[in-house]
Structure 1
Amino acid sequence: MTDTASDAPDPFLETGRLLFAGDWQFVTAAPTVEVLPPMVGMEIALAGRSNVGKSSLVNALTGRKALARTSVTPGRTQELIFFRVGPELSLVDMPGYGFAKAPKEKVEAWTHTIKAYLRGRVNLARVFVLIDSRHGIKPVDEEILDLLDKAAVSYAIILTKSDQVKPTALPHVIAGVLEKIKRRPAAYPVVFPTSSQTGAGFPELRAAVARLLHEQG
């Protein structure tokens, strides 16, 4: 098992490129689990702090400029946002966590929705947890990792904004993240450094999803 997403050429690089070059469409925004769409194909979900760049990552991953709306106001995504490409794959943008200005009741409601989603979505193959490369895993991130471990949902770490870290420092950031997750039971031991600005890391991330889809099939 390699430590990073880019140690060697990946045979799924082209498969992943074609998969994410498909016709991605917005499906629905679900504020509660009662209105989740039917389970179709495989699902992957994105979790992360509200200002970590999830919307930018969705747009960069799918090659669409405005598939996911971006905002300078943290916490705008207050629902489970579903995108789909054909019948085989759905991408779920989960509500951001860790922002201080949201009312406590709202945060509790979102937390309940996330927990219920993780418990009941049997076609959820992996959650990608987005971590800001400049800051690494913070205590608020540890809380979502604990939740995923308890729910026994496989997850992997995506480092965002890697272009804002010195190239010589990035391997140390990756090593630090790997050290923090190595004893976590549901953590996949690969870290994906990415930059939505430069496109770095996205071919490898698309390939990882394509491989997961192949394994699930």
Structure 2
Amino acid sequence: MDEAELLEAGRLLFARGTRFVHAAQTVEGLLDATGIEIALAGRSNVGKSTLINALTGQVALARVAQAPGRTRQLNFFQVGEGRLSIVDMPGYGYAEAPKAVKRDWQGLMFRYLRGRPNLRRVLLLMDARIEDKPADHAVMGILDKAAVAFQIVLTKSDKMKPEALARKLDTIKAIARKHPAALNDVIVTSSETGAGIAELRATIAALVA
């Protein structure tokens, strides 16, 4: 499909409605691996819930926590008839130390990443306004080790001036090139203005096709 067709496929995919279906706190509590799963990861307060709401066009589908870092489970959202599920992974808090991230993610998160045959991609969200942190690099290392393809998505781009955003994008692309599991294509989004949302839907639609 060409770009216009992918954009339309993305629009149609998420026009079918999305609903919350399951939350898992253990591997045993995971749903059966059916359909395609796309997981969202990122630091707490990076805007994962807001981005899910923007993607699905539903204002309150994913609850935006008042206290960042409270989610400690995998939340599954089924898109349309069930060919696709969006999985909201726990934010990795304000931890600056890679060891803290590895400690928090070495259980359920890593076992999910390694053992989920229908997990097609992880979207790693990073705040466009904030410098990359050791915790971000630790998660990238975990994704490399798990051999799960991931793509960086910049959020809150509307808070940046164009020149600063362009520099940030160059920096993030350079970081992605250092990780074997990372895709070089970085998607820039704003849930506030809608920038990049259609492109992100199209990217997801291409994985479902």
User: TM-score normalised to the size of structure 2?
Assistant: 0.92
What is the letter of the counterpart of residue 14 of structure 1?
A: E
Does the alignment pair 1:24 with 2:18? yes
Q: 1:153 maps to what in 2?
A: 148
Q: What SS is found at the alignment partner of 2:77?
A: strand
For 1:163-182, list aligned pairs within 5 A.
163-182=158-177
User: Conserved in 2, the CA contact under 8 Å of 1:10 and 1:204?
Assistant: no
Q: Choose the corresponding residue for 1:14, options 8, 15, 19.
A: 8
Output one character per residue of 1:142-186: Cα deviation in whole Å (capped at 9) or x when no partner.
000000001110000010100011122211111100001112111
* Match in the other structure for 1:137: 132
> What is the aligned partner in structure 2 of residue 5 from structure 1?
none
How far apart, in 2, do the equivalents of 1:172 and 1:13 lie?
A: 27
Correspondences of 1:1-217 after superposition (within 5 Å): 9-85=3-79, 86-99=81-94, 108=103, 110-214=105-209
Partner letter of residue 43 of structure 2? R
| Paired position in structure 2 for 1:3 | none
Query: What are structure 2's unaligned runs of at least 5 residues?
Result: none
Q: What are the ranges of 5 or more consecutive residues in structure 1 without an aligned counterpart?
A: 1-7
Q: Deviations over 1:22-78 (max 9, x none)?
A: 121111111111100111210000000011111001100100011100023111221
| Structure 1 residue matching 2:184: 3-state secondary structure | strand
Q: Which amino acid aligns with 2:37?
A: E
CA distance in 2, matches of 1:46, 1:19: 18
> Root-mean-square deviation (CA), in Å?
1.9
Deviation at 1:109, TM superposition (A): 5.4
User: What percent identity do the matched residue pairs reach?
Assistant: 53
CA distance in 2, matches of 1:9, 1:19: 15
Supply the distance in 1 between the matched residues of 2:170 and 2:163 (Cα, whole angstroms). Answer: 12
SS in 2 for 1:188: coil
Check conservation: 1:128, 1:157, Cα contact below 8 A.
yes
CA separation of 1:10/1:155 partners in 2, compared to 1, >3 Å: closer, same or farther? farther
One-letter code aligned to 1:113? L
**Number of residue pairs aligned between Structure 1 and Structure 2:** 204
Q: Report the Cα offset of residue 137 of structure 1.
A: 2.2
For the residues of structure 2 that align with 1:209 and 1:91, how far apart are their CA atoms?
10
Contact 2:68 2:93 in 1 (8 A): no
**TM-score with structure 1 setting the length:** 0.89
